[in-house]
Amino acid sequence: MVLTNPLWQPNYKISTKDRRYINAEDIIGKEIRSKVWDSGGRPWNILEASLATYLMYSPRQVTPLYPKYCNIVTSLLDLNLPNPGEDTQFDAGPSFEILEAGTGHGALTLHLARAIHGANPPIPSEIRDDLVTSQYRFPKSFLTHTRRRVENKDEALSEESTDTLAQKEGSKTQDGTEVPLAVAAEENDVPIDPQDPHQLRLPESSRGALAAYLPTRRAIIHTFDIQASFQRVAHNIIRRFKRALYLPSINFHTGNIRLYLAQRLEESGGAPFLSHCVLDLPDPMLVGATDEICKSLLPGGLLLVFNPSVTQIADVVAAIMKDSATMNLERVIEMSAETPGPGDSPVGDTDVGGGRDWTVKAVIVKGRESEGWKYVCRPKYGNSVAAGGFVGIFRKFHVKPRLESDAKRFDETVIKSPVALESEETSQTAVDSVEGEDQGQESEPTPEEGEDATSNSATSEGGTTEDNFKT
C-alpha cells in the first residue's frame, strides 16, 4: 500500500485491500521503519517510498514517462553540476537552464530537478513546509479559462481583479473546511501572470523569503505544458514529494514555447541561454519552434527528442537540417518496451528505473522436506506493459551560417526509397546505352581537348571548402 497524499486529519481512516483500515493518527509522527497495526491486528511497516514508486502510484491525468525512461534521458544529459562554492567560475556565470517541453505527469521534471538540485543553495525548511501546505491562489477549475487574447497577446489583469476572480469554485483547507466562494470568473479571464498559473497563497514571511531565494538559484528547470489544468496535477505531485524538496528548482510555464523563447532571445540580444532542451511531446513538429530552440541552445548543448515512433524522430531531423546549420544528430537510441514485474517489495509493485525483475527464493518442497532447501530462479512476468520509444540526440556546435542556396537545395531534395532509386538507375542505364549507340560515329577528342576536360574535372572535385560545403 502506497500513500501519495499528506495525512492532514488525524481521524482519517486508511482502507486496505482486505477491507480493514489503519488510523492516520497511528502513522502521523512515527519514524520510518516503525510498525503500526490495522483494525484486524495485522502489523504494517512504515517505509519511505522511492521516487519511482511515488510516481507510479500518484494520481494521473496523462500517461507518465516511466521512471526507467526518465533515468535514461537524465543520464544522456550527463549532468555534473558543482555544489555552491565548489566552482567559482560556475558560481559567477549565468544560470544553468534546461527547458523541458511537455510537463505531463511531472516524472521527467522531478528526475531532472533531482539531478541539478545540488547546484542550488539550500532552502529553509519553513518555506518548504509552507510550499506543501498552502492553497493555490487559482483553483484548478479556474485554469480552464487560461487566455484573454488582445492583439494576439495575453493581457495581464490587475492584482485586484485577479483576487476577486481567483476562486471560481470552492476548495478545502488542511482541516477540511470549505473556502467561501468568490465571484464567478468570466469566460476569457486569465491569471495575472500566464507564465505562473500555480501561485500559492504563502504567508507573508515565506513569500518574501522565497522571492529572495529564487534569484540565487544556479540551476533551473523550465517546464512547459499547453494545458494548465493538467500541469496543476504535476505541480501538486512535485510539491508533495519530499516536502517540496525539488519544487524551488523548477519554473512552470504554460503557453507557446516559441513565443517564450523568442522573448528570451530578444531580452538577451540574441545570445543563447539554454544549456539543454528535452522535448517530450506527442508531435514535436506541431510546436514549430525548432529554429528558436536551436538559437537558444548554448554551443555544446544537447537537444533530446523523445517519441514513440522513429518516423517522428526523422521528421525532427529533417526540420533541423532545414532550419539550422548548427545542430548535429549524434545518435538515435531505442528504449525497449518492458513489462515491470509484480514486485515483492513491501511498498508494492514498482518500476525500479530499469532492468528486468527476477524471482529468487529458497523453498522447502512439501512432501520432500528431507531433500532440504530448493531454489526458485525465474524472471518475473508483470501485470502491465510500458511502451517503448525512441530518443534522438542532437548537439549544438559552431559552424559558418548556412547559405540560402543550401536551404533551397534541401527544400528541393526528395527522399526516395532504395527500390525507387534502383529503378531510376536502371532506366538511366538504358538511356545511356541508347545515346551511346547514336553517338558511336562521333570522332574521338584531341589530346588538347582531353587535357582541358581532365583539368576542369579536377578543379570541380577539389574546389574550395565553401565549394565542397555547397556540394
Task: Write out the residue range of the structural domain in which residue 151 sits.
Answer: 51-339+387-407
Does 72 fall in a domain?
yes
pLDDT in tens, the chain (471 residues): 777 777 767 778 888 878 888 888 888 888 888 888 888 888 888 888 889 889 988 888 888 888 889 999 999 999 999 999 999 999 999 999 999 999 999 999 999 999 999 999 999 888 999 999 898 887 776 665 444 433 344 444 344 444 444 433 334 444 444 443 333 333 334 333 555 778 899 999 999 999 999 999 999 999 999 888 889 999 999 999 999 999 999 999 988 888 999 999 999 999 999 999 999 987 777 667 888 999 999 999 999 999 888 888 998 888 888 877 788 999 999 987 665 544 444 444 555 556 667 778 888 888 888 888 888 887 776 555 566 789 999 999 875 545 455 545 444 444 444 444 455 555 555 545 545 555 555 444 444 444 444 444 444 344 433 443 333
Does 129 fall in a domain?
yes
Does 290 fall in a domain?
yes
Read off φ and ψ for residue 150, nearest 5 degrees: -130, 110
Sheet holding 96-101, edge to edge: 250-254, 219-225, 96-101, 274-280, 297-307, 389-396, 327-335
Structural domains in the chain (count):
2
DSSP structural state of residue 249: G
Residue 228 and residue 132 share a domain: yes
Does 252 fall in a domain?
yes
Burial 130-147 (b: 16+ CB within 10 A, else e): bbbbbbbbbbbebbebbe
Residue 420 and residue 325 share a domain: no
Residue 174 and residue 194 share a domain: yes
State the Cα–Cα distance between residues 84 and 81, nearest whole angstrom.
9
Does 1 fall in a domain?
no
Residue 456 and residue 329 share a domain: no
Residue 156 and residue 82 share a domain: yes
Residue 247 and residue 195 share a domain: yes
Read off φ and ψ for residue 427, nearest 5 degrees: -65, -40
Q: For the purposes of burial, counting CB atoms within 10 Å of the CB of 215, is it exposed (0-12), middle (13-18) or buried (19 or more)?
A: exposed
Does 426 fall in a domain?
yes
Residue 429 and residue 321 share a domain: no
**Cβ(210)–Cβ(248) under 8 Å?**
yes
What's the CATH code of the domain at 203? 3.40.50.150
Residue 286 and residue 146 share a domain: yes
Residue 141 and residue 72 share a domain: yes
Residue 420 and residue 396 share a domain: no
* pLDDT tens-place string over residues 46-83: 888 889 889 988 888 888 888 889 999 999 999 999 99
User: How is 288-347 classified by DSSP, letter by letter?
Assistant: --HHHHHHHEEEEEEEEEEES-HHHHHHHHHHHHHH-SSEEEEEEEEE--B------STT
* pLDDT tens-place string over residues 96-135: 999 999 999 999 999 999 999 999 999 988 899 999 989 8
Sign of CA dihedral 59, 63, 68, 73: negative
Residue 139 and residue 172 share a domain: yes
Residue 420 and residue 335 share a domain: no
State the Cα–Cα distance between residues 237 and 60, nearest whole angstrom.
9
Does 164 fall in a domain?
yes
Does 372 fall in a domain?
no
